[in-house]
Structure 1
Amino acid sequence: MSESSPDEPPNSAAVLESMTLLATLSTAAEVGKSVARRRLGRDPSAQEPPDRAAIHLRNTGRTLMDLLMQLALSRVPLDHPEEPLPHAVRHFDLLLKLRRAERLTQDMHQRLLSLYPEVSSELVEEARLLRNKIARFWETAPSDPDSPHLSDVLEQGISFVVWTRHEVPVE
């Protein structure tokens, strides 16, 4: 394998192969975590004790907020907008992060259900709506003109995390 100089553009095939590997590893990691939780006897659809649900909500909320902020910062214009490879890499990164945000939101929704009625039904519903909005954006943008705009998804996501921080009891 020959090394390229910093001035040479990256090999498109190598970049796409790396993105495919990253997507595969990301999916495998999520499946591995899910299997490990189930082996420990943690059913994601089951109710959790409120104190454990609250801890997980705070941690997952922080992770989701970090991810949303990364997505917001990734909207900075590229140095060379005419080059297709940086756009492809950025789009790929966006899709991976959105898929992760969708999973985190689903997780938060499930844990909020464990805290209901200690948290408002509106917050529980907001988690469901946000998860659906992220999924719709992921599946339809940019081809569908009725698809939610990324800024709307980010705004709703950030608002949801802040709202969760205010309603989830701190022990």
Structure 2
Amino acid sequence: MSSTSADGGTDSNDAPDSAAVLQSMTLLATLSTAEEVREAVAERRAGRDPSAQAPSGLATARLAQARETLLELLMQLVLGRVPFERQEEDKLAHAVRHFDLLMKLRRAERLVKAMHQDLLSLYPDVSESLVEEARHVLHEIRSLLDTEGDTEEDEVPALPDVLERGLSFAVWTRHEV
């Protein structure tokens, strides 16, 4: 039996309204995209071309910040894969967890792309193999995102493998830069 609160909402013991949750996820995705556009416009207005070589000091600082954010994000994804002792997850909870995974993978993709560009700016002061590893990590994340839900593809890397490679890349970057 569901009770209604004074504001017309449902009691906290009831399951969340799936339409409201899906609307919230849509809003979050829209805001995330808007923030990406805002950042790109701000960079352009400040006279910085993301495809251009950055000065060494700027590239190093951006790389350090992106690396730490990437490590944190990938660890969140690793911890999200830890099995919980609970009953079967309902469809709405599964959709929310899957949405969170995709949003974090998209963020990781943007971070690795920026890190690759900064590593190119620092080359030859960083090893060619590290620059190449950034490209491989980016390719694996994109492959995973592009084929999300397509289980017939044999070339798709497994999420745990992508996470492990991404973490290794971030640690390698910490040691070399």
Report the CA distance between 1:35 and its aligned residue. Answer: 0.4
Could you list the runs of 5+ residues in structure 1 that have no partner in the other structure? none
**Equivalence map 1:69-88=2 (5 Å):** 69-78=75-84, 79-88=86-95
Residues 60-102 of structure 1, C-alpha deviation per residue, up to 9 Å, x if partnerless? 0000000000111111335342411000000000000000000
Q: Does 1:109 align with 2:153?
A: no
Tell whether 2:88 aligns with 1:93: no
**Contact 1:48/1:111, CA 8 A, preserved across alignment:** yes
Q: Which piece of structure 1 moves more, 121-130 or 3-12? A: 3-12
Aligned residue runs from structure 1 range 80-159, under 5 A: 80-144=87-151, 145-146=153-154, 147-159=156-168
Paired residues in the alignment total 168
Deviations 1:124-160 (A, max 9, x none): 0110110110011011134234221110010000000
1:61 equivalent in alignment to 2:70: no
- Tell me if 1:35 matches 2:41: yes
Residue 2 of structure 1 is matched in structure 2 by 8
**Which amino acid is the alignment partner of residue 105 of structure 2?**
L
Q: Distance in 2 between matches of 1:81 and 1:152?
A: 26
Larger Cα-atom Rg: 2
Task: Report the secondary structure of 1:48's partner residue.
Answer: coil
Q: Which runs of 5+ in 2 are unaligned?
A: 1-6
1:141·1:148 contact (CA, 8 Å) conserved in 2? no
**In percent, how many aligned pairs have the same letter?**
59
Within 2, Cα distance between the matches of 1:5 and 1:161? 44
From 140, 144, 160, the counterpart of 2:169: 160
Q: Read off the aligned partner of 2:147 and give its amino acid letter.
A: T
**How big is the shift at 1:7?**
1.6
Length-normalised TM-score, structure 2: 0.91
The CA distance in 2 between the partners of 1:81 and 1:151, in whole Å, is 22
- Alignment partners' CA distance in 2, 1:82 and 1:105: 32
Determine the C-alpha separation between the residues in 1 that align with 2:38 and 2:132: 29
User: Aligned partners of 1:31, 1:130: CA distance in 2, in Å?
Assistant: 23
Q: Residue 50 in 1 paired to residue 59 in 2?
A: no
User: Partner letter of residue 154 of structure 1?
Assistant: L
